[in-house]
């Protein structure tokens, strides 16, 4: 029964019938995360450019990272459309869509570039910049022309891990440094503190300041060279 309701929900979404979608979900308990070989209700709504249906489904616990049988995600579906789906892309990102999930070996950002969707590329890159990973940790991700840099600031252990990858996501270098290490970018560290607090994280300001003036480690904690990374050492 749930599969038939799921198929009916997908078909109703395809027709852009918001009231029909509402009735199926609210009154008939149609499964919002039903997925067949090619679609789910949210993937269908995103691909068709139906922003209000996307909002309704997300508000009623549709998974923003659900995968169909062919590994499409709602974000990928929104980008694949010939419609201007920037608002849907932004809404999905604001509500938990992972901009790093790949489909057909490509990230959403790479696919948006292929389709010359400049504003979508900008929205994806901005969403990657800061991501809270837990109560005490936050990640900074930046994309350069030839490589990507990921920094994870851990305000419990007072260190920052930096991973540099090429655009094919092959690790070029990896390092872990205590906050007191002279190589740590203090301006970036201050920004990480602000971003973590703005996202509801917690940190002991006194402990952070103490770590900077009373170093426990004056050297790099761990480093992997490009050659070692290439050979998985």
List strands edge to edge, sheet with 159-166. 130-132, 137-143, 147-154, 159-166, 171-178, 220-224
- Residue 11: predicted pLDDT: 95
In sign, the C-alpha dihedral spanning 227, 225, 110, 60 is positive
Confidence of residue 221 (pLDDT cuts 50, 70, 90): very low
pLDDT of residue 215: 61
Angle at 173 between CA 204 and CA 205, to 5 degrees: 5
**pLDDT exceeds cutoff 80 at 19:** yes
- Read off the pLDDT of each residue in 65-92 and give the average, rounded to a whole number: 89
pLDDT at residue 231, as a whole number: 39
Which two three-digit tokens encode residue 64? 């923003």
Q: Residue written as tokens 């010939």?
A: 82
User: What proportion of the chain, given as a percentage, has pLDDT over 90?
Assistant: 56
Is the domain defined by 1-128 classed in CATH 1.10.3110.10?
no
Phi–psi pair at 141, nearest 5 degrees: -130, 125
**pLDDT exceeds cutoff 90 at 178:** yes
Distance of alpha carbon 40 from alpha carbon 47, whole angstroms: 11
Neighbour count for residue 67 (Cβ, 10 Å): 16
Q: List every span in the chain annotated with CATH 1.25.40.20.
A: 1-128
pLDDT (tens digit, 9 = 90+) per residue, 122-164?
Answer: 898 888 788 888 899 999 988 777 888 999 999 999 999 999 9
Residue 105: pLDDT band (50, 70, 90) is confident
- Cα separation, 164 vs 181, in Å, equals 18
Higher pLDDT, 168 or 202: 202
Tell me what pLDDT residue 222 has: 40
Q: pLDDT tier at 2 (50, 70, 90 boundaries)?
A: low
| Mean model confidence pLDDT for the chain | 86
SS3 call for 123: helix
Tell me, what's the pLDDT at 109? Answer: 87
Given CA atoms 223, 225, 229, 233 in this order, what sign does their dihedral have?
Answer: negative
Confidence of residue 233 (pLDDT cuts 50, 70, 90): very low
* pLDDT at 78 (0 to 100): 95
- Does the pLDDT value for residue 49 go beyond 70? yes
């Amino acid at each position: 029964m749930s599969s038939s309701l799921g198929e009916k929900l997908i078909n109703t979404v395809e027709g852009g019938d918001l009231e029909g979608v509402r009735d199926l979900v609210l009154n008939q308990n149609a499964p919002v995360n039903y997925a067949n070989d090619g679609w789910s209700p949210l993937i269908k709504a995103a691909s068709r450019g139906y922003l209000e249906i996307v909002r309704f489904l997300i508000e009623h616990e549709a998974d923003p990272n659900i995968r169909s049988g062919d590994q499409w995600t709602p974000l990928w579906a929104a980008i694949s459309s010939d419609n201007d789906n920037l608002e849907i892309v932004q809404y999905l990102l604001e509500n938990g869509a992972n901009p790093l999930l790949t489909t057909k070996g490509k990230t959403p950002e790479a696919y948006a570039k292929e389709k010359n969707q400049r504003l979508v590329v900008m929205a994806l890159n901005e969403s990657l910049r800061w991501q809270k990973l837990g109560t005490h940790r936050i990640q900074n991700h930046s994309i350069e022309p030839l490589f990507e840099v990921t920094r994870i600031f851990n305000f419990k252990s007072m260190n920052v891990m930096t991973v540099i990858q090429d655009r094919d996501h092959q690790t070029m270098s990896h390092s872990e440094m205590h906050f007191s290490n002279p190589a740590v970018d203090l301006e970036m560290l201050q920004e990480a503190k602000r971003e973590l607090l703005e996202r509801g994280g917690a940190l002991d300001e006194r402990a952070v300041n103490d770590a900077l003036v009373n170093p426990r480690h004056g050297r790099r904690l761990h480093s992997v060279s490009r050659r070692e990374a290439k050979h998985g050492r």
